[in-house]
Chains A and B, each alone.
Chain A
């Protein structure tokens, strides 16, 4: 059976709508309909293949014989004029040096090509996966969009949940929000209470020296001590890095509260094991009583406890102080606080320098 050129082109036109039939000189004899559709204003027949297309791979092919010799290689080429659509191709030499057939396809440039050239499914061979590829790209984009919008909503929900949370994740204590809420509740219900503002001393040097993991252990350990030192319906909250608030209900007695603060400080001063080291911290406490105010307001009581804490720090740390409602605190810390200084008793710690902490 011999195949005439007209049979061959008919066959190619049916199977490969982007074929190029080249003569022995590399001139284009016939092209498939789809390929011609890419350059509707320019008849491709009669042009040299190399004038129409720039060969990118394999490198440096210039002559027809070189092109024929590349029959095993995959061609990568593109149009020399705009739009410079990239194409893939394979070369099949015709017998007896009569020329060659090059079959072209879009490869990944298909997405731009269908838009640039308004291609339809009729432009692709029945076995071409181009339509399936286009389908898949659109389907995946739609699915991805739905996934992304879900992710965004989940992210938003997570942030909202965190914002609404009442628990400090590290220590399991209440957080600032919980404290604000419960303090507001205590004030509104007229329940008498004491507010202790506790600040860990030397915490920063633990963090600096042994790292944040050690800092976390210290915070958890301290939280445990505070929970043990309070009664079930008292509230302990971590309101900042190393700042805590304890709300002690129904207690206004300074001796009892002072004793409680002193025990807390004493226990917090016990070295805390971390890996092979010990962390040494202490605490200062400022205490305000709801009965110190004619019309207690949450912010007022917090500020009062904060002032007392400041006084305790100024007195040399590892101490507790009560808020002085007479307003003389600023001028004479030692006098207004003198009744409480002894409360830490024999356990008043030596001054600790950061390099002594271990």
Chain B
């Protein structure tokens, strides 16, 4: 599992619940270290143990916790860089949804050994979509629900999201666009990087 993913979990826990909780997670997951390095690769079990330990420390379900993490990845000031990268996907929420088909390729373009599961958007009507999430990264669909929710806020769109669970190997997320320009959304300009 790529360090970027592990590091994102650590960053989420520290920013949301504080470092003391992270240290408890590290201890109960028996990681043997306290810091994930973003640019190293860790074995899969390590990451899964950390998430499991986090959920039991918080006493919340894995889906809930991972969804919060997805929201954090887009909306927290720590993660401005990632939000910007996602905003390059399109100038409207619908364009952004369509750009998710390329998400895994985009990730690989930036960091060649970062492998995210493939995504495929099915458009049932101009306002109704299903996002099909391929297997490979347990919990990824839950994180995505949080990401999609936060990105809707970012674009100023009003959406209804539901994690529809698994079908065969894939996981499904249904997306209903209620209003594409519901609010101002957050500003994004192409040359805005600092």
Interface residues of A (CB under 8 A from B): 111-116, 118-122, 131-132, 134-136, 138-143, 146-147, 149-150, 153
Smallest CB–CB gap between A322 and chain B, Å? 51
The interface residues of chain B lying within 8 Å CB-to-CB of A113 are: 191
Give me the interface of B with A, judged by CB distance under 8 Å. Answer: 4, 7, 37-40, 81-82, 84-85, 88, 90-91, 106, 109-111, 189-193
**Contact across chains for B110 and A150 when beta carbons are under 8 A apart:** no
Complex CA gap A97/B40 in Å reads 62
Given known A121-B90, A139-B109, A146-B4, contact A134–B190 (CB-CB < 8 A): yes
Chain B residues whose CB sits within 8 angstroms of the CB of A135 once the complex forms:
85, 88, 106
Partner among A115, A131, A150 whose Cβ is within 8 Å of the Cβ of B39: A150
In the bound complex, residues from chain A placing their C-beta under 8 Å from that of B106 are 135, 139
Residues of B near A112 (CB, < 8 A) are: 191
A-side contacts of B88, CB under 8 Å: 131-132, 134-135, 138
Contact assessment for B193 and A122 in the assembled complex, using a CB-CB cutoff below 8 Å? no
Contact of B191 among A119, A122, A136, A149 (CB under 8 A): A119
Among the listed A115, A122, A153, which residue makes an inter-chain contact with B91, where contact means beta carbons less than 8 Å apart? A122
> How many Å from the CB of B117 to the closest CB on chain A?
18
> Nearest chain-A residue to B40 (Cβ)?
A150
CB-CB under 8 A from B192, the residues of chain A are 115
Bound complex: CA A122 to CA B189 (Å):
11
Closest-by-CB residue of B relative to A151 is B39
Nearest CB in chain B to that of A117: its residue: B191
Q: Are B39 and A120 in contact (CB under 8 A)?
A: no
Cα separation A134 to B40 with both chains bound (whole Å): 25
Known: A111-B191, A136-B110. 6 other contacts (CB 8 A): A112-B191, A131-B190, A134-B191, A139-B106, A142-B110, A146-B39
- Chain B residues with CB below 8 A from A121, complex form: 90-91, 190
Chain A residues positioned under 8 Å from B109 (CB to CB): 136, 139
Q: How far apart are the CA atoms of A131 and B110 in the complex, in Å?
A: 14
Neighbour of A118 across the interface among B90, B111, B189, CB < 8 A: B189
Partner of A120, one of B7, B37, B190: B190
B38 touches A146 (CB 8 A): yes
Chain B binding surface SS class: loop
Q: How far is B91's CA from A142's CA once the two chains are assembled, in angstroms?
A: 22
Question: Is there an interface contact between A115 and B37, defined as CB atoms closer than 8 Å?
Answer: no
B100 to chain A, nearest CB (A): 14
The 8 closest A-B pairs by CB, nearest first: A115-B191, A139-B110, A114-B191, A135-B88, A146-B38, A114-B190, A150-B39, A121-B91
Contact A140 B39 (CB under 8 A): no
Closest to A113 in B: B191
Distance, CA A120 to CA B91, complexed state (A): 8
A143 contact set on B, CB distance < 8 A: 39, 110-111
Question: A141 to chain B: which residues have CB within 8 Å?
Answer: 193
A138, B193: Cβ atoms closer than 8 Å = yes
**What CA separation (Å) do A132 and B84 show in the bound complex?**
12
Q: Which of B38, B82, B90, B189 contacts A150 (CB 8 A)?
A: B38
| Cα–Cα, bound, A139→B103 (Å) | 13
A122 to chain B, nearest CB (A): 6
Q: Which among A120, A139, A146, A149 is the interface contact of B85 at CB below 8 angstroms?
A: A139
| Complex-state Cα separation, A118 to B38, whole angstroms | 32
Taken together as a complex, chains A and B put the C-alpha atoms of A164 and B57 apart, in Å, by: 36
Instruction: Tell me the nearest residue of chain B to A114, going by C-beta.
Output: B191
**Whole-angstrom distance from the CB of B34 to the nearest CB of chain A?**
13
Closest B residue by C-beta to A143:
B111
Known: A136-B109, A142-B81. A150 touches B37 (CB 8 A): yes
Among B82, B109, B189, B191, the most chain A Cβ lie within 10 Å of the Cβ of B191
Report 25 cross-chain contacts, Cβ distance below 8 Å, ordered by A residue: A112-B191, A113-B191, A114-B190, A114-B191, A115-B192, A118-B191, A120-B189, A120-B190, A121-B90, A121-B91, A122-B91, A134-B88, A135-B88, A138-B81, A138-B88, A138-B193, A139-B85, A139-B106, A139-B111, A140-B110, A142-B85, A146-B7, A149-B38, A150-B37, A150-B39
